[in-house]
Structure 1
Amino acid sequence: MKIAVVGASGMAGSRVVAEAASRGHHVTAVFRSTPPKSPHPGVEIVRGDATDVDRMRAVFAGVDAVVGATRPEPGAEATVAVTVTALLGAAAGLRVLVVGGAGPLRSPSGGLVIDDPAFVPAEWRTIASASTTQLEACEAHPGDWVYLSPPAILEPGVRTGAYWRGTTTILSAAVAIVDELENPGRDQHFTVGY
């Protein structure tokens, strides 16, 4: 499979690049400002901005699937809906997996995680709200997309290779992302844990 990973030098994107490459997929690693630190053999590294639709269309030519693992700079959270809309438009006709945020997940209390201070402290509320808006932008788009809401706390850790859909390490989340691309599930919005 040919996979483009947008946001390839970030915490999630870099792990997805590594996981997909380790499984023998051809990966195009797209970065905006800082190239990936340790490129993997056979990975094509390309500069590009997710909001540049024409550039992204050119990058996506010949790929089978796209992973959008972009994150805004602090203070630029309002840009996530525009970014994901541009990405989905550029990837028209392709499977797109968006690595989002935990804000739109259901809380055990019955509401959304964003509304539960036990899961989203005040200092995380802005990015959690942005992830909720990001999912809404996906839902308004007619394309073939799936949205992964990782747990509210997603940290570096050991790759276990095990997870359940439904807290996990970023390496296990990368396993889930590539699994979803290889064998799409029926849900457009899912989470994983371990």
Structure 2
Amino acid sequence: MKIAVYGATGMVGSQIVAEAAKRGHEITAVSRSGRDVPGATTVSIAELGDSAAYRALAGANDVVVFSIPPSRTGESHQSFIDAHEEISETLVPARVFVVGGAGATEVDGVRLVNTPGFPEDYKAEALTMGEVLDFYTSASGLDWTMLAPAPVIAPGEPTGTIVLGNDSPAGERVSTGDFAVAALDEIEEPRHQHRRFTVASA
């Protein structure tokens, strides 16, 4: 399978590339720097909002993975939001797999970002990822899936045991290795098309 991974140099994206390579897939690592990523077959330089580059990658690959968080430097998230809105409205032959955010997951129908005690430092990112999720759930004709991590995601190898959930957190923590395993399992055998699901380490 041919898989393009945006954000391939990041904490989560690099693990997705490594897991995909381990399973024998052909990976294009997409980043702003064009830096080599272990396991990637080729590299591509592209910005998230470059629609021409996205269309080209979606035409050359079976799946396009977006593993790019919104900015955490305090700058506006509008360009990130606009890019995902356009992606959600663009019909392409590839499947779209989006790495979501834990803050937009729900407990008893309420998003975590709207619950008492949610960390102020993560609110902007959580609200943005909730808006992005809304774009995809409203999309028509696009083959998409979003995977959200547990509230705590940290670098780590696959543990060999993961727990999946629907819109609510599947557990407290997940390693990047376990997240990548869940992502590739879904990419290889889609079971959550046109919806968001969650993962945690058991």
TM-score (norm 1): 0.89
Higher strand share: 2
Match of 1:190 in 2: 197
Which residue among 131, 134, 141 is the counterpart of 1:133?
131
Residue 170 of structure 2 aligns with which residue?
none
Pairing partner for 1:178 from 160, 184, 189: 184
How far residue 78 of structure 1 moved from its aligned partner, in angstroms, is 3.2
Alpha-carbon contact 1:101-1:131 (below 8 Å) kept? yes
Which residue of structure 2 lines up, in the alignment, with residue 86 of structure 1?
86
What per-residue deviation string (whole Å, max 9, x for no partner) do you get for residues 18-41 of structure 1?
1101100000110013624x432x
CA RMSD after TM alignment:
1.9
Equivalence for 1:56: 54
Q: Give yes or no for contact 2:59–2:93 (8 Å, CA) kept in 1.
A: no
The one-letter code matched in structure 2 to 1:60 is: A
Could you tell me which amino acid in structure 2 is paired with residue 131 of structure 1? M
Query: C-alpha deviations, 1:93-148, integer Å up to 9, x for none?
Result: 321110011122112x6521111244x31111111111101101112222110111
Secondary structure of the residue aligned to 1:9 is coil
What are the ranges of 5 or more consecutive residues in structure 2 without an aligned counterpart? 166-172
Kept in 1, the 8 Å contact 2:49–2:80? The answer is no
Partner-residue secondary structure (3-state), 1:60: helix
Q: Bigger CA drift: 25-34 or 86-95? A: 86-95
Question: Is residue 62–residue 93 contact of structure 2 (8 Å, CA) maintained in 1?
Answer: no
Counterpart check, 1:157 vs 2:132? no
Amino acid at match of 1:116: T
Q: Map 1:19-168; keep pairs closer than 5 Å.
A: 19-33=19-33, 35-36=35-36, 38-40=37-39, 43-74=41-72, 75-89=75-89, 92-107=92-107, 110-118=109-117, 120-142=118-140, 143-166=142-165, 167-168=173-174
Distance 1:90 1:33, change over 3 A: farther
Residue identity in the other structure for 1:61: G
For the 8 Å contact 2:9–2:35, the answer to whether it is kept is: yes
Counterparts of 2:89 and 2:45 in 1: how far apart (Å)? Answer: 19
Change in 2 beyond 3 A, CA 1:21/1:15: same
In structure 2, the CA distance between the partners of 1:89 and 1:9, relative to structure 1 (3 Å rule), is: farther
Write the letter of the residue equivalent to 1:7.
Answer: G
Name the count of aligned residue pairs. 190
1:169 equivalent to 2:175? Answer yes
Structure 1 residue ranges, 4+ long, deviating more than 6 angstroms after superposition: none
CA distance in 1, matches of 2:102, 2:4: 23
- After superposition, the Cα gap between the structure-2 partners of 1:33 and 1:72, relative to the gap in structure 1 and judged at 3 Å, is farther
Task: Output the TM-score relative to the length of structure 2.
Answer: 0.86
Residue of structure 1 in register with 2:5 after alignment:
5
